[in-house]
Chains A and B, each alone.
Chain A
Amino acid sequence: MRRTLAALLVEAARAHPEVLILTGDHGYALFDELRKTRPEQYVNCGVAEQNMVGVAAGMAKAGFRPIVYGLASFIPIRVLEQIKLDVCYEGLPVIFLGDGAGLVYSTLGASHQCFEDVAALRPLPNISIFSPADRFELVWSFKRARRLNGPSYLRLGKADLGDVHAEPLPDEFDHCVRGVIDASRENVCLASGSMVAISKRVIEREGLDYDLYSVLKLKKLEPQQILDLCQGRKRIIVVEEHSIYGGLGSAVAEIIAGRLQCSFQIGGIQDRFTEHCGTYEYLLSHHQLDEAAILNLLQTH
């Protein structure tokens, strides 16, 4: 997924001279090729994220198409007000890339773990939010975001979990939700980001009676599409590597509340910080988002 992102950035910069890629001194190897081939379109703004977002707004006002890269803990969390006032209020076409969202930086602790980004951004008018689950969804999300005439956020989580789709999403695909297991089963699991791959493994291995859909665009969801997918199911389970407050689960609940009679539960990070240091897998287990916990959620709910 990371290699795909690097290639997308180079491709966008090559094709469009008005694309500027801004970073707050993060990214390491991600920008190697870009710096080599399009150095003038790579702008390292230093460890000064608030200024970087204001600068991106100014660039966008003047007709450039900035892509702002950072870790999700900083872009969007540290700079939320800049995104709101400098970018969203005017509806400027700035793409924000929030890398390492969720528990990816498991060993770096609370400063780098981020499970509140979607909740923080969802109430801001004008912004679109994407949460790709694999490289195919990343390509689709990036291209969609590039076509928008307003701000967008790409939530980039754990990047090495493999593909969930067998092939690229067709260019004409224009929905928020993409089927992964689409077999008219009794129950439905809606997942985003890393949780799509993990839920897929569990459902396939255990042969659970669940369809699985990847929600790759979290804002705006299409209410009718969500209702159609959920209609007539016995159980609806939402799984996300994000707080149970304000993320995909909340967004789905806002749509189905009062409209559907069914069992509904959100699997996500409870109201607490991570207590211990450890691997990504350890933290998934700690927050009950590993395969065993997902299996438990899907089976016993």
Chain B
Amino acid sequence: MSTVASANQSFDPIALRQAVLDMAYNGSSVHIACAFSIVEILAVLYRKHLRYPDGRYDHPLRDYLVLSKGHGVMAQYACLIEMGWIEPGAATNYFKDGTRLHGLSEVGIPGLEVTSGSLGHGLSVGAGLAFAAKRRNTRQMCYAIVGDGEANEGPIWEALLFAAQFKLDNLIVIIDKNNYQAMGLTSEVLSTEDLETKLVAFGFDATTIDGHDEGAIDSALSIYQSRKDGRPKGIVAETIKGRGISFMENNNTWHYRRLSANTYGAASTELRRRSR
């Protein structure tokens, strides 16, 4: 099995963020900041780690990427456009009547494995996929991206118990710890602090990294892919909600705010400046 990413697929975080901005502006959609915190995680996964035999998103022996925190879906759409699995026009047509892409992850879109957004669903489905792959000895990996706010949900903790009990060492849970949820700081709403400690207490092999450091993400993924010790793996990715646009970073109104012509222009200008 090989990765499908080819030389012309760079999954450049700045380009991905621009694609998210384009979608969000054209569709007047929310959840921009939720997408920005996971851009580097997705970029590294798609660029180097996810294996899609024959370049097929539906290949039975593919690796699974489960976006449990469905609110970040625009970042994944940006990657899927680059994969060639959804048409580039999806960005300009986002949310138009009769189109396919919703504001949260839904099965049926090439490359999306779960219907999430109602939170606490995807990780369990990912655990089932990992269970199936282990049962068949296929060497498939399952990556599940979970939000630290999403970890308020009970089924997340049920799924962690299950993963440890059934020794799903092909499951890598990546927690996007951007410290915010819809209405405020996670520490102030329903704290999920000490995630690494919690994961370890649940039987995981876990580590904490800078979730915007592509080298650190790559290295953690590589180590965990090869460590077949019966323990599921957890990566606490410390991220910044709204990362990449100064006026969105750690400004939680961008969980819900929509772009105006002005803010879209200012954000795009900032990305262009960073790309130089």
Contacts and interface: CB of A to CB of B under 8 A. Distances in A.
Nearest to B130: A58
Contacts of B128: 54-62
A46 B125 contact: no
Contacts of B125: 54-55, 57-58, 61, 86
B114 A86 contact: yes
Contacts of A82: 121, 124, 155
A55 B162 contact: yes
A85 B129 contact: no
A54 B107 contact: no
Interchain residue pairs A-B with the least CB separation, the first 10: A58-B128, A54-B124, A62-B132, A51-B158, A48-B158, A55-B128, A58-B129, A50-B155, A58-B125, A51-B124
Interface of A: 43, 45-46, 48, 50-64, 81-82, 85-86, 89-90
B43 interface: no
A57 B113 CA distance: 11
Interface string B155-179: 1001101100100000000000000
Interface in B201-254: none
B127 interface: yes
Nearest to A44: B165
Q: Is the interface of A mostly helix, strand, loop or mixed?
A: helix
A48 B128 CA distance: 14
B197 interface: no
Interface string B115-158: 10010111111111111110110000000000000000011001
Nearest to A79: B155
11 contacts: A43-B131, A46-B165, A51-B159, A54-B125, A54-B127, A58-B128, A58-B130, A58-B131, A62-B129, A63-B60, A64-B132
A54 B121 contact: yes
Contacts of A81: 118, 121
Interface size bracket, B side: 20 to 34
B88 interface: no
B178 to A, nearest CB: 23
B133 A85 contact: no
Contacts of B84: none
A123 to B, nearest CB: 17
A126 B173 CA distance: 31
Interface string B192-203: 000000000000
A86 B123 CA distance: 11
Contacts of B123: 54
B265 interface: no
A109 to B, nearest CB: 23
B161 A85 contact: no
Nearest to A53: B124
A86 B159 CA distance: 14
Contacts of A85: 115, 118, 121
Contact of A54 (B135, B136, B159): B159
B155 A54 contact: yes
B60 to A, nearest CB: 7
A89 B155 CA distance: 19
A59 B106 CA distance: 18
B238 to A, nearest CB: 26
A57 B130 CA distance: 12
Given A46-B158, A58-B125, A86-B125, 12 more contacts: A50-B120, A54-B123, A54-B125, A54-B127, A57-B124, A58-B124, A58-B129, A58-B131, A59-B129, A62-B136, A64-B132, A85-B121
A125 to B, nearest CB: 13
Contact of B132 (A52, A53, A63, A89): A63
A23 B161 CA distance: 15
A134 B135 CA distance: 35
Contacts of B165: 46
Contacts of A60: 128
